[in-house]
Structures are given as C-alpha cells and as structure tokens.
C-alpha cells in the first residue's frame, strides 16, 4: 500500500501581498496511503474545503510541497495539472454540480471526453457506471428530473469515469436525508473495498466519520487530531459536545 498523497508544511494564504491578506492553512503536513478511506472533520470555516481544493489540485498552495501519486504538483504547468486532476481524481460535491440540460449518461461521459476516450468506449463505460450506482433506468433523464440522492449517485458515477485512484467528497451527504445519505455512504464503502479507491470525505457527521478508517480533525487551519480507528469505537457524544 503506497503513499498516494503527501503534503509537506502547506500554507494557504488568500489576497497575498494585500492589506487584507489572510492565512487560512498554517502548515499542514499529511500523508495518505492508497486505499485509505479518510474523513476530515472540523467546524465551519476551519479550512476543510480549502485543504480539499489543494489536495484536488483545483488550487495551489502558497507555500509547501505537494506530491500527488509521486508527481510534484508545484512544478506542474497549469495544463498538465488539469490533465493530472482529470485522470487521478474524482470529485463529489454537496450540491452535485451536474451539468444542467444534459442527460445523466452524458454527464458521466464528459470527463472521458476531456481525457480523449473514444465515443464508443465513453458510452460503454458510462452505461456500466450508471449500472454500478443503480441509475441505469434514469440514464436519459436530465438532472432537474432526478431526486437529490439520484443526482448524487450520477455525480459519483461521473467521479469514477476516468477510473481515478482518489475520490474527494466535500459534504456529499450534506443535502440528503439520513436514508439517502446512507445509500451514498454505502456506495463509497463499496468503491473503497471492491476497487481500492482512496477516499477522502469531508463531513459534519460524527457517525459517518466514525465508519471510515481514519479521522483527521481540523481547527483554525491546523490538524489538531489524526486518528486511525482500526474498528475501535469513538465517543460520539463527547464529539457532539465539542461542536465539530
Ligand atoms: N477564495 C477564498 N478567498 C478568501 N478567503 C477564502 C477563500 N476560500 C476560503 N476562504 C476562507 O477560508 C476559511 C476556510 O474556508 P473553508 O471553505 O475551507 O472552510 P470549511 O472548513 O470548508 O467550512 P464549511 O464547513 O463551512 O464548509 C474561511 O474563513 C473562508 O472565508
Ligand atoms: Mg467546506
């Protein structure tokens, strides 16, 4: 099981050099192994999404180094970075971010189009992925015709399109009811267990975090706790009291 994500002393500042300069991440070091299912928890505004954007190479750190599957992200040109991102990482967001007026099937095909996959192969794989998330019957439906949970399942199929090693999910169940959130969570477990996907999940739910392999807690831009669970029970009540 090799290291797939390596952050060394990552600092993220916004408005650099301006009077309103803000330092949001203060020196994050983090290593994630292939196949790990990790959750990131912390209060609103603590820097979780900022960190996720850096891990997903959607944004660059102000200082520090980041190796994504051995690739030095700092050294990569922007064009290379978007290609690396498209192939190595699948994103799942709280608000689904599906392309409107475009069928579920086409939404899943899109990342493969950018990756230069042939039309026939795109279609074949998109059909297969919609089947995996049990959305075959809605393949020709538009996002606006789908429920929240159905949209999220299509979004997960899309995240899987280029068979990424890593899935980054920022509050993927945040807009769903408990039962639907459960379906989405089950899908992540399946992808982790059956396909060895490395999954990083941002969540406000201690219950959901407690079913992953590892919980990283962030507060005010620092990692304050990093715990491998190894099946051991954590005290959810204590956690709720602390208001994470
Ligand atoms: N592009 C940006 N420019 C300036 N400040 C930003 C930017 N993105 C985030 N921030 C600031 O960074 C801090 C952390 O934001 P972030 O979105 O990472 O928090 P979070 O932990 O994901 O919170 P939540 O749980 O509410 O999603 C906030 O104070 C936010 O205002
Ligand atoms: Mg956030």
pLDDT digits (tens, 9 = 90+) for 112-136: 999 999 999 999 999 999 999 999 9
* DSSP codes, 20-83: T-EEEEEEEEEEEETT-EEEEE--TTSSHHHHHHHHTTSS--SEEEEEETTEETTTS-HHHHHH
Residue 112 sits at the vertex; the CA angle it makes with 106 and 114, to the nearest 5 degrees, is 105
Token duo for residue 208: 């959901």
Pocket test for ligand 1, best of 18, 23, 48 (most atoms within 8 A of CB): 48
Is there a contact between 89 and 162 (Cβ–Cβ < 8 Å)?
A: no
Confidence of residue 231 (pLDDT cuts 50, 70, 90): low
Pocket test for ligand 1, best of 13, 23, 24 (most atoms within 8 A of CB): 24
pLDDT greater than 60 at residue 232: no
Of the candidates 49, 27, 12, 8, the one whose C-alpha atom is nearest the C-alpha of residue 223 is 27
CA distances in angstroms from 177 to 116, 137, 183, 209, listed in the order given: 37, 22, 10, 16
Average pLDDT of span 49-67: 97
Confidence of residue 234 (pLDDT cuts 50, 70, 90): low
The predicted structure's pLDDT at residue 242: 60
Rounded distance between C-alpha atoms, residue 173 and residue 208, angstroms: 10
The predicted structure's pLDDT at residue 175: 94
20: left (phi over 0), alpha (psi -120 to 50) or beta: alpha
Confidence of residue 243 (pLDDT cuts 50, 70, 90): low
Confidence of residue 230 (pLDDT cuts 50, 70, 90): confident
SS3 state at 237: helix
Q: What's the CATH fold of domain 3-236?
A: Rossmann fold (3.40.50)
List the chain domain ranges: 3-236
The predicted structure's pLDDT at residue 120: 98
Is there a contact between 26 and 46 (Cβ–Cβ < 8 Å)?
A: no
Mean pLDDT of the chain: 94
Ligand 1 nearest-atom number relative to CA 51: 18
Ligand 1 nearest-atom number relative to CA 53: 18
% of the chain with per-residue pLDDT over 70: 94
The CB-side HSE value for 81 (13 A sphere, CA atoms) comes to 17
The CB-side HSE value for 224 (13 A sphere, CA atoms) comes to 12
Tens of pLDDT, residues 195-213 = 999 999 999 999 999 999 9
Counting ligands in written order, the one closest to the CA of 51 is 1
Residues with CB under 5 A from ligand 2 (ion): 48-49
pLDDT greater than 80 at residue 244: no
* Contacts of residue 188, Cβ cutoff 8 Å, sequence gap at least 6: 37, 156, 167, 169, 172, 199, 201
Rounded distance between C-alpha atoms, residue 103 and residue 198, angstroms: 28
Pairing of strands 222-228, 214-219: antiparallel
End-to-end CA distance of the chain: 31
Rounded distance between C-alpha atoms, residue 124 and residue 175, angstroms: 30
Q: Which uninterrupted H or E stretch holds 3?
A: strand 3-14
Counting ligands in written order, the one closest to the CA of 59 is 1
Counting ligands in written order, the one closest to the CA of 48 is 1
Tens of pLDDT, residues 18-46 = 999 999 999 999 999 999 999 999 999 99
CA nearest ligand 1 atom 2, residue = 14
Lowest-confidence region among 71-75, 116-120, 236-240: 236-240
The CB-side HSE value for 236 (13 A sphere, CA atoms) comes to 10
Confidence of residue 236 (pLDDT cuts 50, 70, 90): low
CA nearest ligand 1 atom 6, residue = 14
């Amino acid at each position: 099981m090799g290291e797939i994500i390596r952050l060394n002393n990552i600092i993220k500042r916004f408005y650099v050099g301006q009077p309103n300069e803000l330092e949001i991440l203060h020196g994050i070091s983090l290593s994630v192994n292939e196949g790990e299912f990790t959750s990131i928890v912390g209060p609103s505004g603590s820097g979780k999404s900022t960190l996720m954007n850096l891990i997903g190479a959607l944004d660059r750190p102000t200082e520090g180094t980041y190796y994504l599957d051995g690739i030095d992200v700092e050294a990569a040109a922007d064009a290379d970075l978007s290609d690396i991102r498209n192939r190595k990482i699948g994103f799942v967001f709280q608000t689904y971010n599906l392309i409107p007026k475009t069928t579920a099937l086409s939404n899943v095909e899109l990342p493969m189009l950018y990756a230069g996959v042939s039309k026939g192969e795109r279609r074949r794989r998109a059909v297969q992925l919609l089947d995996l998330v049990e959305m075959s019957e809605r393949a020709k439906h538009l996002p606006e015709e789908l429920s929240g949970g159905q949209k999220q399942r299509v979004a997960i199929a899309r995240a899987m399109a280029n068979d990424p090693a890593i899935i980054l999910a920022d509050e993927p169940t945040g807009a769903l009811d408990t039962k639907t959130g459960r379906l989405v969570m089950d899908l992540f477990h399946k992808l982790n267990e059956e396909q060895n996907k490395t999954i990083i999940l941002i969540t406000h739910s201690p219950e959901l975090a407690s079913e992953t392999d590892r919980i990283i807690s962030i507060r005010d831009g620092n990692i304050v706790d990093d715990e491998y669970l190894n099946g051991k029970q954590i005290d959810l009540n204590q956690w709720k009291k602390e208001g994470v």
